[in-house]
Every structure is written in structure tokens, then in C-alpha cells.
Chains A and B, each alone.
Chain A
Amino acid sequence: MAEFDLRAIAEPVDPIGLKAVGLVSVAALVLAAPFLASEYWINAIIVPFLILSLSGLGLNLVTGYAGQLSLGAGAFMMVGAYATFALQLRVPELPLPLALIAAGLISGVVGPVFGLPSTRIKGFYLIVSTLAAQFFFEWLFLKFPWFYNGNSSATIALSRGLSFFGLNANGAHGRDYLTLGIVALLTWLSFNLIRSQTGRNWMAIRDMDTAAAVIGVPVLRAKLQAFAVSSFILGIAGALWALAYLGSASVQSFGLHRSYQILFIIIIGGLGTIRGAYLGAAFVSLLPLALDWLFQYLFSGQVDAGLLQNIEKAIFGILIIWFLIREPEGLSRLLALRRTAAVAFFLRNPFLHFLKQEPEP
């Protein structure tokens, strides 16, 4: 049997058949989830996980694909949330889906404004510009009561609940499907985009921007497009976070810690991969819950509850560090290597030889 390069077979687009089976089974599982899971599961686990995945996806487009480091994810989520609130409040005839799209567009215009410095500065310096967005919007939405309609707690909440083309989306199932539908649609659109010329332009700029310009990639336009699409998605994610998950939100819901959280999600999941956002969001949102459940099960009643919580946080932190040392390229890469090892095993096994597929031309 000829030797083959493990890395080389890890990356080529795998047989579409496998991908379709995976997608269909995930879709079936997710659609069935509202009937399998309790309301607690939906409200506290599935919905936030989906929205965090969507946020990770949005940030991954600009940071993972186009290589523009951003710490402004929270800011663009905030813009989307406050824009949706303002539109629903002041233009009540606008149905929620259109309000969400409009809020996404507003955020999608704001993003490139703070991305403009990326045409002159790179890497860590760009963080300053995106941090400016973070602080500016925290200030703006607190300073002017118009943005939160002057209520005493300075929070935003929908007065008449969620409805989607006349369908009531207030219950756990309604919110789940609303979130799921939006996340699925935006994932599909992002996927199309990164496999098109725009996506190639982004990755070219990320990998070597001088060469990209010389071979004819419109560097400036592509960077601003990356900021626009990214903040469009982040804006919609922010609106969902405020209205479908939290119910009522404030600027603290989208503070700097949120920006860090979204950045961690894509670093842990895998920069520049679509699935990385989902894997990272699962890691960040589900692992603490699993730890909590495990510790409650093992030590409940024997150890002080506050101490237990701190131990959980410490273990979570240690897991992140251990994991990033083992696989700096994130969960997505880890998964690809596992799959490659599995494929290699099958290829070596003469009885399973019929599974071997020639790569498409």
C-alpha cells in the first residue's frame, strides 16, 4: 500500500455524501430537540448555545477568515440589540423579521466604520479601534435615554413579546425555532460566502496581504466587506441574545467580557472554520454546565457551594489552557485529525478497501 500524507487527506473537501449525512442527522436532532428536551434545557442551554455559535460565526468571518483581529464583538451585538428594540418600539408596524434584518444592516454599517483603520494598521493595533467601538457604544446607549426609552433600569425589553409573521414565538419552543431558523440561514449564507471569491479574497489577505494586493485582490474593499458581514451577523446575534434569550438586556449584557467570550469561542473552536464557532460555543457554554452537574452530583452537601463554584471555574480555566497547548489550532483541527486517522485506518484495512474514494477533480 502506498504511503500517503496524513495532512494532505485531512483537508480536501470530504465526500459530500458524508457531509450530507452529518447535516441531516444534526438537523433531525435539533428539530426534535424541543420535544426531547425540557423547557429548562431549551431556555438555559440550547438557545444561548445557538446564539453564541452565531456570534462566533460572525466574529470568525472577520477575524478567522479575513485575519482582522477584533475585540468589538460585544459592541456590534449591542448595536443590533438596541436597534431592534428601537425599531420595534418606534416603528411597531415593522414585523420582527424585518426589524431584525434592519438591525443587522445598521450594525453592518457601523462595523466597517470601526474597521476603517484596518486599511492602515494591522494585528494588535487594530484591537484598539475595535475596543473603541466597545467603549463608545457602552457610553452611547447609557448616556441617551432615547435608546432605552427612558425607563428607570436602563434596560431594553420587548413590550409585546416575540412574534414571527403572526406566529407567537414567546414560548420556549417558539424561541428555539426562531433562533434555530435564523442561525441555520445565516450559517448557510456564510458558508456560501466563504467558498466564493469574497471568501478567497479574505483568506488571501489573512495569509499574505501584500501578495494579495499584487495579484489583484481588492484588499481595501474586501476588508470592509468582512467587517460589514461580520457585524451584520453579530448584530442579529445580539438582538437574539437580548430578546430571545435574556428577555431584557442592558449594556452590561454586551460588555467587554462578551467580546472576550466570543473571541475565546473562535480560538478554542478553530479560527477560520465554520464549525469552529459551534464547537467553541459548545465548549464555552456546555462544559461549565457539565462540570457543575458533575460536581453537584459528586460533592453536593459535603463541600461549601461557593467554594465548589470557584473550583469549577478553576478547572474550566485549566481545561482551556491544557487544550490550547495540546491543539493550538482548536477543536476543529482536532476533529479533522481524528477523522484523518479513521480514514487512514480504513484505507489500510483491505476488507474496507471499497470505501476508498478518489478525490474529486
Chain B
Amino acid sequence: MSTSATPALEIKNVSLSLRGVKAISDLSFQVEKQEICALIGPNGAGKSSLLNIINGVYIPDGGEIVFEGERFQRMQPIEAARRGIGRGFQNNALFSGMSVIDNVIAGLSRHSHVTLVEEMFRLPRALREERDFRERAGAVLHLFDLDKHARTPVGTLPYGVQKKVEMARAVVGEPKLLLLDEPLAGMNAGEKKEIAAVIQRLNAELKLTIVLIEHDVGIVLKLAHHVVVLDYGRKLADGPPETIRDNPDVIAAYIGSEHAVAA
């Protein structure tokens, strides 16, 4: 297959300044199709900023993003979503006034084809789409074991559950590339295990390419196929987890920082 040579995502010489401070400098790396790529590094290393560049929230000062062989200097967020880049946020960015299932269905917007008038008069096409969306959202809720919360207002749920709802919302639109910002943060050990298993399933069964940021290095080393270490906006190391573990630069960056290397 000729396309298998094309990486899912290429970051080429990307730089970003936020309010005059250099957040990312001249960063390049590749994410292969169907791999789980973990971004690690201390706080302020530029990990979340990089995700924001990939889905168009931030405009890089320089460099380009190549997604599925197409180059972009900048992409509108809606354009990124249409091309199949899904995103989970670090601090839950759920729609607090809506129920769990409505939050998830909102993630299907890019697949909606009915017009406003069809929706107003409940014409057959609109009803069919609504039924289809509910089924798809229901299936994803089931995957995350959220069935019993479907009708609950999302703001009333505990943090760990909200985190799962956010992932469900990102996944429901069937993205090709999923960006997850600390999907395991704030969860207890049991929940972490559960979510890690779901991430593995998404990757294995749905053939999803996943880029995730995670501080729990123990889990990262088990989960990821590829680890990129950032520090002060620069790439410190890039390779399979086994080589990262023993990299002296990485160890140096983590010693003295607030994040201990967890077992």
C-alpha cells in the first residue's frame, strides 16, 4: 500500500510565541498511522500549545503541519474537525448546560446534513438523522460505560466521569486522529486502568491514530508506541518507550521538576 508510507501527522519546524514568550521553538516530529504517540514533559513545555496548533486554535509563528499528506500553515478549528481531528481538553470543556448524551451528539455536528427547516418541521430526513445520531452516541456511551448517565446534566457528574464524557464526545465523530490532553488526570487508579484500556481499544479496533499528553509516565510507557519528550518548547527525545526510559536527558529534565517518574 502506497499510503502506508505517509505518516498520519508531521510537525515541521513549528514555532509559537504566546504573549511574547516562546512556547515552542522549531519543533519537528512525525506520528505514524495507527500509533499511540505520547507527549511528555514538565508543565509549560508546550505540549497543550502544540495540540492547539494542530487543531487550529493557535496560529504558529512558523513551520507547518502536514496532516494525511496535506500541508497547512494554519487551519481553522472547524476545518480541522471536518478533516477528522478529534480533541479532548485538559480542563474539561464540556457544554455544562446540556445532558451527557446531548454533549456527545454535539460531537456529530460535522456529520449533520439536514437543514434548519427540516428540523423545524420534523421532516423524515431530520428524524432519520436524529435517530442515527442517538444510536451512534449511545454506542459510544456504552463503550465508555456511561449508559446510565445518558440523561444526566453533565455539570452534576464527578470529574472522572466528565473526563470520559469528553473523550466520548471526541470519539463519536469518528476522527482519524485523536488528540487527548491528559485523559487520565484526576482519576483514581481503577478509572485510569479503565480509560487506558479504552484508549488501547480505540487504537486497536477503530485503527485510530492517537496523540496524547500524559504525566503518569508509568502508564505512558505501557500504552504508547512512540514517545516525544518536550522541555521548554524543544524536543528532548523522540523514540519508542524503551529508549526514552533510559535517556539521560529525559531523566535530567524530570529530576528536580515537580513530576516524579512514577513506577
Question: Chain A interface (Cβ within 8 Å of chain B)?
Answer: 5, 7-8, 11-13, 189, 192-193, 196-198, 200-201, 203-204, 206-208, 210-219, 225, 229, 272, 359-361
Contact of B173 among A189, A215, A219, A229 (CB under 8 A): A215
- Known contacts A203-B98, A215-B107, A215-B170; is A196 also within 8 Å of B126 by CB? yes
List which B153-200 residues lie within 8 A (CB) of chain A.
Answer: 153, 156, 169-170, 173
CB-based contact A215/B86 at 8 Å? yes
Taking a contact as CB atoms closer than 8 A, the residue among B95, B96, B119, B169 that contacts A192 in the complex is B119
Contact B57 A214 (CB under 8 A): yes
95-147 of chain B: CB within 8 A of chain A: 95-99, 102, 105-110, 112, 114, 116, 119-122, 126, 129-130, 133, 138, 147
From residue B213, how far is it (CB to closest CB) to chain A in Å? 15
Chain B residue nearest to A194 (CB atoms) is B119
The 6 sampled A-B contact pairs (Cβ below 8 Å) are A200-B102, A204-B106, A211-B89, A214-B56, A215-B86, A216-B108
Distance of A233 from chain B, by nearest CB (Å): 11
User: Cβ of B119 and Cβ of A216 under 8 Å apart?
Assistant: no
Residues of the B chain whose Cβ atoms lie less than 8 Å from the Cβ of A208: 93-96
Contact partner, B106, options A5, A11, A12, A201, Cβ 8 Å: A201
Looking across the interface, which residue of chain A has its beta carbon closest to that of B112? A197
Least CB distance from B28 to A in Å reads 24
Bound CA span A189–B82, Å: 29
With beta carbons under 8 angstroms apart, the residue of A5, A196, A213, A215 that contacts B119 is A196
B8 within 8 A of A: no
Specify which chain A residues have a CB less than 8 angstroms from the CB of B99 in the assembled complex.
Answer: 11-12
| Given contact pairs A207-B94, A214-B81, A215-B109, a sample of 6 additional A-B residue pairs in the complex whose CB atoms are under 8 Å apart | A203-B97, A211-B93, A211-B94, A214-B55, A214-B87, A216-B108
**Residues of chain A with a CB closer than 8 A to B87's CB:** 214-215
| Contact status B119-A201, CB under 8 Å | no
Q: Would you give the shortest CB distance from A343 to chain B, in whole angstroms?
A: 14
Contacting pair B116 A361 (CB below 8 A): no
Taking a contact as CB atoms under 8 Å apart, the answer to whether A204 and B57 are in contact is no
* Chain B 38-68 residues near chain A, CB threshold 8 A: 55-57
Instruction: Assess whether B78 is in contact with A216, with CB atoms less than 8 Å apart.
Output: yes
CB distance from A202 to the nearest CB of B (A): 10
Q: Let me know if A13 and B106 touch, CB within 8 A.
A: no
Interface residues of B, Cβ cutoff 8 Å to A: 55-57, 76-78, 80-82, 86-87, 89, 93-99, 102, 105-110, 112, 114, 116, 119-122, 126, 129-130, 133, 138, 147, 150-153, 156, 169-170, 173
Assembled-state Cα–Cα distance A11/B232 (Å):
45
Contact assessment for A197 and B98 in the assembled complex, using a CB-CB cutoff below 8 Å: no
Q: With contacts A210-B93, A213-B77, A215-B173 known, is A200 near B152, CB below 8 A?
A: no
| Complex alpha-carbon distance, A327 and B122, angstroms | 34
Q: Is the CB of A192 within 8 A of B120?
A: yes
Q: Which residues of B contact A359 (CB under 8 A)?
A: 151
Q: Which residue of B lies closest to A207 (CB)?
A: B95
- Given contact pairs A12-B151, A216-B78, A193 touches B129 in the complex (Cβ within 8 A): no
Using Cβ atoms and an 8 Å threshold, which residues of chain A touch B122? 192
> CB-CB < 8 A to B97: which residues of A?
203, 206-207, 272
Q: Known: A215-B86, A216-B107, A359-B151. Is A204-B98 also a contact (CB below 8 A)? A: yes
Complex Cα spacing A12 to B56, Å: 35
C-alpha gap A200/B114 in the complex (Å): 14
Given contacts A193-B116, A203-B95, contact A216 B110 (CB under 8 A): yes
Q: Is the CB of A215 within 8 A of B156?
A: no
Q: Which residues of A contact B147 (CB under 8 A)?
A: 361
Residues on the B chain within 8 Å of A229, using CB: 116
Contacts known (A192-B120, A193-B119); A8 close to B106, Cβ less than 8 A: no
Contact B77 A197 (CB under 8 A): no
Give every chain B residue within 8 A of A189 (Cβ-Cβ).
120-121
Q: Which residues of chain A come closer than 8 Å to B112, judged between CB atoms?
A: 197
Q: From residue A143, how far is it (CB to closest CB) to chain B in Å?
A: 34
The distance in angstroms between the C-alpha atoms of A225 and B95, with both chains bound, is 19
Given contacts A193-B119, A197-B112, A204-B106, contact A215 B153 (CB under 8 A): no
Q: How far is the CA of A9 from the CA of B153 in the complex (A)?
A: 9
